[in-house]
Amino acid sequence: MTLENKVLLRQLKKLKIDDFSSFDEVKFNKFLHVVEETYNNMDFNLYRLELALDISTKELRDFNDTLEDKITSEVNKNREKDQKLLMQSRYAGMGEMIGNIAHQWRQPLSAISSTASGTSVQIELGLLSKEEIITRMSQIMSYTQFLNQTIEDFRGYLALDKEKKEFDLFEILLLTLGIIGVTYKDKHIKIYMRDKNFTSKSFGFSNELSQVFLNIFNNARDALLEHSAEIDRRVYVDIDEDENYNIVKIIDNAGGIPEHIMNKIFDPYFTTKHQSQGTGIGLYMSKDIVEKNMNGELIAENINTIINEISYNGACFTISIPKFKD
């Protein structure tokens, strides 16, 4: 039975009309009026419902549009924030580079100076033959070539990768060790590395990965200088692979990361250093580079182990980089 029929029967019963064989005209007209009024009310209520639905639909549409605008705005803000953090990280890295260049250049510049001045005096005194002068000049040239190569290495390090490409992870690791090697030697920090017996071809941004390695090595250096005796300053580098990733572990002997800050070290601006010593964005950007830009993984843990009969009690950073294109 339809809704209209139910309403009609209900109104007939109210008017006590259940026998259609005989009823008066007044009651029937009254009945028609009641039915008409009922249907008018139903139409009005239906109109109100449709109007309310239209309003709700519009409000929902406006809300969705506003929400979409807010999401887009927040995404853009986060991108701008990450870009600013990346630039701050790169500026901090450039500061480290200047310090490393000074260390790298100190010895060859001193050698050039002493060779040139000594040669000049000996030439004036007539103590050098033509062959000896050529030999001295060759020595100076070799020193200048070393300086030039150092500049090329640092320029390559600071260059931004425009797109992902295949690279040798082991070569990038060796390049980074070459950059920090002089400062490690100056601070009496020994580096041990396991020999690899596989091809470490990886896919991603090689220069950005070098920045990640450098940041972790610099953090290890700072931790060792603060917490370890000179005789115990050592870092072990392990490179391994599984089916899909090349894996680098960088282990120091500085006592480890305090447990109460372990879950904060990858937060932006978190640092245990004095404000003048660092921005606190190095590990945050390193994790961002490895995981967001290269689809890899960067994790940190404390480790207490013996490797090649040498004890290590400190932090272990594990960097996993994809072997293949996404």
Measured at the CA of 57, the angle between CA 54 and CA 59, to 5 degrees, comes to: 110
Q: Of 63, 82, 99, which marks where a domain is finished?
A: 63
Phi, psi at residue 75, to the nearest 5°? -60, -45
Total domains, the chain: 2
- CATH number of the domain where residue 187 is located: 3.30.565.10
- Asked whether residue 317 is domain-assigned, the answer is yes
Nearest residue to 217 via CA among 136, 41, 96? 96
- Asked whether residue 218 is domain-assigned, the answer is yes
SS3 assignment, position 234: strand
Please tell me whether residues 52 and 197 are part of one structural domain. Answer: no
- Asked whether residue 37 is domain-assigned, the answer is yes
SS3 assignment, position 191: strand
- Asked whether residue 115 is domain-assigned, the answer is no
Please tell me whether residues 182 and 40 are part of one structural domain. Answer: no
- Asked whether residue 155 is domain-assigned, the answer is no
> Along the 326 residues of the chain, how does pLDDT read in single tens digits?
455 555 555 666 666 666 555 556 666 667 667 766 776 677 677 777 877 888 888 888 888 778 877 888 777 777 777 777 666 666 666 666 676 667 667 767 887 888 888 888 888 888 888 888 888 888 888 778 777 777 776 666 566 666 888 999 999 999 888 878 878 888 899 999 987 777 789 998 888 898 889 889 989 999 999 887 877 899 999 999 998 999 999 999 999 999 999 988 888 766 665 443 443 457 888 898 899 889 999 999 999 999 888 889 999 999 999 998 76
User: Could you give the count of Cα atoms lying within 13 Å of 274 in the half-sphere of its Cβ?
Assistant: 3
- Asked whether residue 99 is domain-assigned, the answer is no
- Asked whether residue 151 is domain-assigned, the answer is no
Please tell me whether residues 181 and 322 are part of one structural domain. Answer: yes
pTM for this entry: 0.59
Please tell me whether residues 38 and 176 are part of one structural domain. Answer: no
**To 10 degrees, what angle do helices 25-124 and 3-14 make?**
140
Q: Which helix (H) or strand (E) holds 246?
A: strand 245-252
Q: Where in the sequence is the domain holding 54, given as residue range(s)?
A: 3-63
Q: Of 12, 38, 63, which marks where a domain is finished?
A: 63
Q: Of 63, 81, 98, which marks where a domain is finished?
A: 63
Please tell me whether residues 170 and 59 are part of one structural domain. Answer: no
Please tell me whether residues 324 and 201 are part of one structural domain. Answer: yes
- Asked whether residue 217 is domain-assigned, the answer is yes
